[in-house]
Structure 1
Amino acid sequence: MGIINSIIQLGPAVMMPIIFFILALVFRIKIGQGFKAAMLIGIGFVGINLVIGLLLDSLGPAAQAMVDRFGLKLTVVDPGWPVGATIGWGTPIVPFVVFGAIILNLVLLLLKLTKTVNIDIFNYWQFMLTGGVVYAITKSITISVIVSLLHFLIAIIIADLTAKRIQEEFDLKGISFAHATSAIFVPIGMGMNWLIERIPGLRNVKASPDEITKKYGIMGEPLTLGSILGVLLGILAGFNVADILTLGIKVAAVMVLLPSMINILVQGLDIIREAAEALLKKRFPDREFYIGLDTALLVGNPAVLATGLLLIPGALLLAILLPGNKVLPFVDLASLVFLIPMAAPYLKKNLIRLFITGLVIVTLVLYAGTSIAPYYTEAAEMVNVKLPANVSSTTELANLVGGATTPLGWIFIELSKLFS
Structure 2
Amino acid sequence: MTVINTIVGLGAAVMMPIIFFVVGLIFRMGIGKSFKAGMTVGVGFVGVNMVINLLLDNLGPASKAMVNRLGLHLTVVDVGWPTASTIGWGTPIMVATVVGFLAINALMLVAKLTKTVDVDIFNYWIFLQVGATVFAVTKNFWFSVILTWVVFAIVLKVADIAAPYIQKQYNLKGISFPHLAGLAWTPFAIAINWIIDRIPGLNKIDFNPEKIQKRFGAVGEPVVIGFFLGLLIGVMAGYSPDKFITLAVNIAAAMVLLPKMIDVLISGLIEVRDAAEKQLKIWFPDREFYIGMDTALLIGEPSVLATGLLLIPVAILLAFILPGNKMLPFADLASLTFLLALVTPFVHRNMFKMLIVGTISIIIILYVGTNIAPFVTQSAITSGLKLPSDFSAISNMTGAVSSWIGWVSVKLGQLFNAIA
Do the structures match in fold with TM over 0.5?
yes
> Given residue 419 of structure 1, which amino acid in structure 2 is its aligned partner?
F
Query: Could you tell me how far 1:21 is from its partner in structure 2?
Result: 0.3
CA deviations over 1:4-30 (Å, ceiling 9, x no partner):
101100000000000000011100012
Paired with 2:236 and 2:196, the residues of 1 have a C-alpha distance of 29
Mapping of residues 152-191 of structure 1, within 5 Å: 152-191=152-191
Aligned residue in 1 for 2:392: 395
Q: Give the share of equivalent positions with the same residue, in percent.
A: 51
Q: For residue 411 of structure 1, what is the amino acid of its counterpart?
A: V
CA distance in 2, matches of 1:87, 1:147: 17
1:55 is matched with 55
Spell out, residue by residue over 1:313-335, the C-alpha distance to the aligned partner (whole angstroms, 9 max, x if none).
00001101111111000000011
* Aligned position for 1:386: 386
| Matching residue's letter, 2:413 | S
Q: Secondary structure of the equivalent of 2:332?
A: helix
1:312 is aligned with what amino acid? I
* TM-score for the superposition, normalised by structure 2: 0.98
How many Å apart are 1:139 and its aligned residue? 1.1
Contact conserved, 1:52 with 1:254, CA < 8 A, in 2?
Answer: yes
Match of 1:72, as an amino acid?
L
The letter of the residue matching 2:49 is: N
Aligned pairs (5 A) from 1:213-362:
213-362=213-362
SS in structure 2 at match of 1:65: helix
Matches of 1:41 and 1:14, distance apart in 2:
9
The residue correspondences of 1:66-145 to structure 2 (distance < 5 A) are 66-145=66-145
SS of the aligned residue for 2:200 comes to coil
Task: Please say if 1:408 is aligned against 2:405.
Answer: yes
Please give the alpha-carbon distance, in whole angstroms, between the structure 2 residues aligned to 1:308 and 1:148: 29
Alpha carbons 2:315, 2:359 under 8 Å: kept: yes
Give SS of 2:39's match.
helix
Deviation at 1:283, TM superposition (A): 1.0
Q: Which position in structure 2 is the counterpart of 1:194?
A: 194
Specify the SS of the correspondent of 1:173.
coil
Contact 1:155–1:184 (CA under 8 A) maintained in structure 2? no
Q: How far did residue 169 of structure 1 move?
A: 0.6
Output one character per residue of 1:203-257: Cα deviation in whole Å (capped at 9) or x when no partner.
Answer: 1012000111112112322101110111100000000001111010000000100
Query: What's the secondary structure of 2:185's corresponding residue?
Result: helix
Q: Does 1:417 align with 2:402?
A: no
Q: Distance in 1 between matches of 2:371 and 2:218?
A: 44
Contact 1:175–1:293, Cα closer than 8 Å, also in 2: yes
TM-score by length of 1: 0.98
Deviations 1:265-286 (A, max 9, x none): 1110111111111100011111
* Structure 2 CA distance for aligned equivalents of residues 119 and 183 of structure 1: 17
Residue identity in the other structure for 1:80? G
Partner amino acid for 1:90?
G
Question: Does structure 2 retain, via aligned residues, the 8 Å contact 1:151–1:409?
Answer: no
**Using the alignment, how far apart are the partners of 1:89 and 1:403 within structure 2?**
15
Letter in 2 for 1:127: F
Report if aligned partners of 1:130, 1:147 keep a CA contact under 8 Å in 2: no
Q: 1:226, 1:255 within 8 Å by CA — same for their partners in 2?
A: yes
In structure 2, what is the Cα distance between the partners aligned to 1:345 and 1:301? 11
Deviation for aligned residue 1:419 = 3.1
Residue identity opposite 2:148 in structure 1? S
Superposed displacement of residue 403, structure 1: 1.7
Point out where structure 2 has 5 or more consecutive residues left out of the alignment.
none
Deviates more, 1:95-104 or 1:215-224: 215-224
1:19-34 aligned at under 5 Å gives the runs 19-34=19-34
- 1:418 aligned partner, one-letter code: L
1:418 CA displacement: 2.4
Query: What is the alpha-carbon distance in structure 2 between the residues aligned to residue 104 and residue 200 of structure 1?
Result: 46
Query: Where do 5+ consecutive residues of structure 1 fail to align?
Result: none
Post-superposition Cα deviations, 1:186-211, rounded to whole Å, max 9, x if no partner, equal 11110111111122111101200011
Aligned counterparts of 1:284 and 1:53: Cα–Cα separation in 2: 41
Q: What is the Cα deviation at residue 372 of structure 1? A: 0.6
